[in-house]
Amino acid sequence: MSNRDMATRLKDSLRLRHEPVAIKLIKEGEEPPEGYSVPEKQMSHCQSVMAARKGEKLLLPADAHSCKNGASALGMAAVPEKTASGEFYHGAGMFESDDAAKSMIDKRSSVPYKVTHTIVAPLKDADFVPYVVVLADIPERIYWLVPMSVYQEGGRVDFNTAPYNACCVDVTARPLLSDSINISLGCFGCRKRTELQSDEMLAGIPFSRMPKMMEALEALDAEIMQKAARD
């Protein structure tokens, strides 16, 4: 199934309000593809993801990332000293102490290799093999990723999140490294910086899981999704 076909299936069956977003990390030594715009001004990873869900195709070198904390989680920069120590997030008022904030950073998923660029684009327009596909929508839409992910093999789905780093860690680095979907309620940073709505949450799907999830979605949409109470 092509990227465009997967995007169409996701949008139609899940009734998504926005385009699914394809994300690829360009490792050191790889050449970035042509045909993608480098933003004129710096932007955070979460801002680029929200721009892509509205149709933009962006290539961000490391120096185009305004949020160095997010860039550090994506393998593009060192963790800022005050972030690593916990001082920054403690000072922001989200944690009782530096140590509590430091624990969040110590336990987050971070890309373990050098990344030179990030690429974000609507999945329907992506002419590359994504690392992760990100959805941002209301809980009822995101919910269906859970039955899609357990349809063939059963089991349960564990989610990992924190007060910060929703786009960079929760739905990009975490799904990539765990090879499983991850759902995030969003974070203070992305809700402050982007147009993520108060009723929306985020999900990241490792692209390796997409073929089976698309098969599951087709089966679910043929019957049980038609019986569900949906807005």
pLDDT given at position 33: 87
pLDDT in tens, 77-107: 999 999 999 999 999 999 999 999 999 999 9
Does position 229 have pLDDT exceeding 90, yes or no?
Answer: no
pLDDT above 70 as % of the chain: 100
How many helices and strands (H and E) does the chain possess? Answer: 12, 6
Locate the domains of the chain by residue range. Answer: 3-226
For the chain, what is the mean pLDDT? 96
Choose between 123 and 229: higher pLDDT.
123
Q: Are the C-beta atoms of 185 and 201 separated by less than 8 Å?
A: yes
pLDDT value, residue 57: 96
Q: How far is CA 66 from the centre of its chain?
A: 17
Q: Give residue 22's pLDDT.
A: 98
43-81 pLDDT tens trace: 999 999 999 999 999 999 999 999 999 999 999 999 999
Checking if the pLDDT of 231 tops 80, the result is no
pLDDT tens digits, 164-215 = 999 999 999 999 999 999 999 999 999 999 999 999 999 999 999 999 999 9
pLDDT of 230 reads: 79
CB 175 within 8 A of CB 206: yes
- Which residue's entry shows tokens 């989200």? 94
The CA distance from 16 to 11, in Å, is 5
